[in-house]
Amino acid sequence: MKFNTKTIHGGQEHDPAYGSVMPPIYQTSTYAQTTPGGHKGYEYSRTHNPTRNALENALASIENGKFGLAFGSGLAAIDAVMKLLKPGDEVISTNDLYGGSYRLFTKIYQDFGIKFHFIGMQNADKIADYVNANTKLIWVETPTNPMMNIIDIKAVAAISKANNLILAVDNTFATPYLQQPLDLGADIVMHSATKYLGGHSDVVMGALVAKDETIAEQLYFVQNASGAVCGPQDSFLVLRGIKTLHVRMQRHCENGKAVAHYLNNHPKIENVYWPGFENHPNHDVAKSQMSDFGGMISFTTKGNNMADAISIVEKLKVFTLAESLGGVESLCGHPASMTHASIPKEEREKTGVVDSLIRLSVGIEDEADLISDLEQAIG
């Protein structure tokens, strides 16, 4: 089954009760039993819920995995992966990553005795220098948030396999429409399903997908034991979102390309970070592991003046100044004071998250309106 068909039919079946084409919203916490332990596969909705299971089957299908898990948020999904570790274990992580991930790693799990190495992974060979007997997990974002750095998943997977490590890839920016990490050797794929998978800025959710049954069973245990699951209404919304993922991503990519080239030619813009440019570091890797380059773009103004960046995001009208990304509407943000404010200034600036950096989530509006909006805001 091809991807565009999978988004609509993958892992899905019509509801057996009445033939409902869309899975019903099973808004229930518990299920009737005929005798203790005698039920129809469902006993309590923290453990299983038919609507959530339908979503989890769809997630597994579009990522070419076997096991899908849905959580109450992207951070809850990351938290579940971290709970596979124990004190004394070490994690090698991308140094340019979502501020919430960095906060979870350094403010919670570091205090539990987990050691983190935050390194640039654009050259995958550098990762091997940090592997030791305590290393258990490699955590990758690609493209990274917000610098759009590209990491060679296949190369990192080779290092992971050679050292018997778990490789987890945050695929939020690319989505399975553009990139499928499990096929490149990853063990776990993570999504903030709040973003492109939901696609309409109306739900908060996280997701994990795996191929290996042993890893999946460990994650299912954490999901049930910790209880950070999503509800049936949210499950229904993300399942609905997945069914249009392919058509939305096509427009995100088209608009993203147009906006990136416009910014790249603007005299007041210093740097534009978008993996579709031939001079973008690891552009060839992006071409090999992604089918297109997405709708996420970051850029800096000349002079690295925070006031200029703030002025631009405040003047934008079609782009909405807001947290998050991946919705049908275009969003803009100032990472230094918003999504990455939890990272110390000296640390975030090492990766390029300077005060003048602006991040765009290019939506599916008409590209002429988006460019016109940027033109009036930048001046």
What's the CATH fold of domain 3-242?
A: Aspartate Aminotransferase; domain 2 (3.40.640)
> How is domain 246-378 classified at the architecture level of CATH?
Alpha-Beta Complex (3.90)
Q: Catalytic pick from 6, 26, 98, 262?
A: 98
Classify residue 282 by its DSSP letter.
Answer: T
Residues 71-79, mean pLDDT to the nearest whole number: 98
The set of residues, in sequence order, having a beta carbon less than 8 Å from that of 311 and lying 6+ positions away, is 377
Q: Catalytic pick from 15, 42, 46, 315?
A: 46
Across all residues in the chain, what is the average pLDDT? 96
Q: Catalytic pick from 195, 248, 257, 359?
A: 195
**Res 347 pLDDT > 90:** no
pLDDT of residue 341: 84
**Residue 46 annotated among the catalytic residues of the structure:** yes
CB 370, CB 350: distance < 8 Å: no
Helices (H), 227-366: 232-242, 245-264, 283-289, 306-315, 345-350
Dist. CA 187–CA 170, nearest whole Å: 11
The pLDDT tens digits for 13-61 are 998 889 999 999 999 999 999 999 889 889 999 999 999 999 999 999 9
**Res 245 pLDDT > 90:** yes
**Residue 359 annotated among the catalytic residues of the structure:** no
Which pLDDT band, with edges at 50, 70 and 90, does 346 fall under?
A: confident
| Identity of residue 190 | M
Length of the chain counted residue by residue: 379
Classify residue 370 by its DSSP letter.
Answer: H
The position carrying tokens 């916490």 is 29
The set of residues, in sequence order, having a beta carbon less than 8 Å from that of 234 and lying 6+ positions away, is 203, 204, 205
Share of the chain above pLDDT 70, in %: 100
- Tokens representing residue 163 in the block: 């050292």
Which pLDDT band, with edges at 50, 70 and 90, does 325 fall under?
A: very high
Q: Catalytic pick from 79, 152, 170, 234?
A: 170
Q: How do the domains of the chain map onto residue ranges?
A: 3-242, 246-378
State the DSSP string of 170-209: E-TTTHHHH--GGGGT-SEEEEETTTTTT-SS----EEEE
The pLDDT tens digits for 173-232 are 999 999 999 999 999 999 999 999 999 999 999 999 999 999 999 999 999 999 999 999
Do domains 3-242 and 246-378 share one topology? The answer is no
Q: What is the pTM of this model?
A: 0.96
**Residue 195 annotated among the catalytic residues of the structure:** yes
For residue 252, give the 3-state DSSP assignment: helix
Which pLDDT band, with edges at 50, 70 and 90, does 305 fall under?
A: confident
pLDDT of residue 72: 98
Nearest to residue 205, comparing CAs of 188, 191, 193?
A: 193
